[in-house]
A and B are shown apart, each in its own frame.
Chain A
Amino acid sequence: MANIISDETIEYVGILAKLELSGEEKEKAKADMGSMLDYIDKLSELDTEGIEPMSHVFPVRNVWREDVVTNGDDRENILKNAPEEKNGMFEVPKTFD
């Protein structure tokens, strides 16, 4: 394998991805990501000098609309999906002291 993923890298990716991996999962993730990156490295065979990165296949323009509320108040139904709610609001763990 050409791409060796270090413990630090997988730790960093875990922070970015907001995932907590067990020791066993970490080892598997290192191997999987290494082999995926080996595979993706195939793209370096292609000369892309001067080619613009293509985000959209069609020439799209920004779409504007007036800032007008069209949907009604659906708070009660929306909160039914919340794992925790309090006084008509989403309840989250304490974020600062």
Chain B
Amino acid sequence: MENILDLTASELGEAIRRKETTAVEATEAALENIRENEKNYNCYVTVDEEGALESARRVQKEIESGKLTSPLAGVPVAIKDNMCTEGLLTTCSSKILSNFVPTYTSEAVLNLEKAGAVILGKTNMDEFAMGSTTETSFYGPTKNPRNPEHVPGGSSGGSAAAVAAKECFYALGSDTGGSIRQPASYCGVVGMKPTYGRVSRYGLIAYGSSLDQIGPLCRSVTDCAMILEAICSHDPKDSTSVERKDNRFTDALEKDLSGMKIGIPRDYFGEGLSDEVASPIREALEVLKTAGAKVEEFDLSLVEYAIPTYYTIAAAEASSNLERFDGIKYGYRTESYDGLHNMYKKSRSEGFGPEVKRRIMLGSFVLSSGYYDAYYLKALRVKALIKKAFDEAFSKYDLIIGPAAPTTAPKLGESLSDPIAMYLSDIYTISVNLAGLPGMTVPCGKDRNGLPVGMQLIGDSFRENSLLKAAYAYETALGGSFERAFFKKEGR
């Protein structure tokens, strides 16, 4: 067998079932790679060596006894550090949760555990998922494994980097405004944000509750479909979780795109988009045409209004969601204080980083009396217009394709000084969250510095299968592996 770390999650699952390797061997290999590479990349906040090996041994026994039959049984996974894991430190990459050990596990992670996943640890992220580079983490930035002078994107930067660096076989991330799709693009991996409501948010530490959704980061389209099948569920503990029967995502893996209509928004290829991103995407569209798809340009409209709408709504929800961090029930409490309110204020001011404070204050402002109508309600009205623009597009097309981000990964240290410029890197991903739609990123090339370029596929609500089908046809046409097609190093 080739190097075990080069296997995709589904290939590893199959190799374990065929007894060519074991969950324990795979876990040991991943842990060894983590020990070797973490000093360079910092993908993880917490690595749970002991817990991972213990669960690998247990899972391996259950596979051998026939109790576990899931295609991903025994495959080691990394979890973004904003999903609660019972008994395992969960920090949200914040100082304020630096000592928080949850007493329960988030539903999506529980679903993976039921499918036999081995949890390696918790990945680094922008603090409370607020950021686009993983540089706002209290635990230091993660570096892009394709080029460590560059950021991995964010906020699920640790998860995307861990997949690219082979420090895990797949990972879970969360996406509020592009936090799975943008880092997947920067790191050259596959990432999907499912339709809002597909995956339970129970145990996901909330940022913007009406926008947050958990999804996979992985190396192949088949992996993506299998992980979705494992994590999607109707959960009475999340009142926005949706009951669906169409959960057979692996059925979508077909190569023939005859009859598929793909819309290309002209507004996504205009000013601000780097040529080095645009040309690989145009080449990929030619591949999809060859596979049978009909590709046509159209005007989506309202693109430039998505970011101001998003920041109003997300900041408003964040200011409310983050009220719970008060230094009483869990997390950091300041050393010295004078009375209850001073304790609240000092704990929060010392515990939160600058980007989180910025968004909490903006959110408090737009919800305050006198401004609520002008800012918050206005944003919710524009959100309705954005949803309508997508509805019109999907009356004509099965799929929309565009870039995931305007550029490839910026250098470390260049993004945080100008918040609005950083927010602009989310321009192509953010409206998908506002409209609750599924979105997916697959690698489609590199720029002249060898940094990955991603292509974003956007579908109508609950049409994940259309995304998976087009992505699978593209991957197949490339020879079956994004890694081999774009990133394989000489001599390996």
Binding site for B on A (CB under 8 A): 9-10, 12-14, 16-21, 25, 29, 32-33, 35-37, 39-44, 46, 48, 51-58, 60, 62-63, 65, 74, 77-78, 80-84, 90, 92-95
Contacts and interface: CB of A to CB of B under 8 A. Distances in A.
A43 B379 contact: yes
A93 B358 contact: no
B327 A83 contact: yes
Contact of B331 (A29, A37, A77, A83): A83
26 contacts: A10-B361, A13-B368, A14-B361, A17-B348, A17-B360, A19-B360, A32-B419, A33-B358, A39-B308, A39-B311, A41-B308, A43-B382, A46-B302, A48-B378, A51-B381, A51-B384, A53-B384, A55-B210, A58-B436, A80-B101, A81-B100, A82-B330, A92-B340, A93-B340, A93-B343, A95-B339
B323 interface: yes
A95 B346 CA distance: 16
B330 A81 contact: yes
Given A17-B361, A42-B305, A80-B101, A54 B378 contact: no
A54 B348 contact: no
Please indicate which of the listed interface residues A33, A48, A63 has the most CB atoms of chain B within 10 Å of its own CB.
Answer: A48
Contacts of B380: 53-55
Contacts of A12: 368
Contact of B319 (A17, A20, A40, A41): A17
A94 B340 contact: yes
Interface in B291-347: 302, 304-305, 307-309, 311-312, 319, 323, 326-333, 337, 339-346
B176 to A, nearest CB: 14
Nearest to A50: B381
B258 interface: no
B368 A20 contact: no
Given A19-B360, A29-B358, A33-B365, A54 B100 contact: no
B103 A74 contact: yes
A20 B361 contact: no
Contact of B349 (A21, A42, A82): A21
Contact of B103 (A60, A65, A78): A78
Q: Shortest 9 CB-CB distances between A and B: which pairs?
A: A53-B380, A57-B436, A83-B333, A81-B330, A54-B384, A48-B381, A16-B364, A20-B345, A63-B239
B337 A93 contact: yes
Contacts of B304: 42
A44 B103 contact: no
B385 A90 contact: no
B346 A20 contact: yes
Interface residues of B, number: 68
Contacts of A57: 196, 387, 434-436, 461
B339 A93 contact: yes
A10 B379 CA distance: 22
Identify whether the interface residues of B are mostly helix, strand, loop, or mixed.
Answer: helix
B240 interface: yes
Given A54-B380, A92-B328, 18 more contacts: A16-B319, A21-B349, A33-B358, A33-B362, A36-B420, A44-B378, A48-B381, A48-B382, A51-B381, A51-B385, A56-B210, A57-B435, A57-B436, A58-B242, A65-B236, A90-B328, A93-B339, A95-B339
B284 interface: no
Contacts of B365: 9, 13, 16, 33, 37
Please indicate which of the listed interface residues B103, B304, B312, B379 has the most CB atoms of chain A within 10 Å of its own CB.
Answer: B103
Contacts of A56: 210, 240
Nearest to B196: A57
Nearest to B418: A35
Nearest to B420: A39
Contacts of A51: 381, 384-385
A87 B332 CA distance: 21
Contacts of A58: 196-197, 242, 436, 461
Contacts of B35: none
A16 B375 CA distance: 17
A55 B358 CA distance: 23
A46 B103 contact: no
Given A54-B380, A57-B435, A29 B210 contact: no
B99 interface: yes
A48 B348 CA distance: 37
A51 B387 CA distance: 12
Contacts of A74: 103
A47 to B, nearest CB: 10
Contacts of B378: 43-44, 48
Nearest to A30: B361
B146 interface: no
Contacts of A63: 236, 239
A53 B352 CA distance: 31
Contacts of B340: 92-95
A77 B340 CA distance: 24
B45 to A, nearest CB: 17
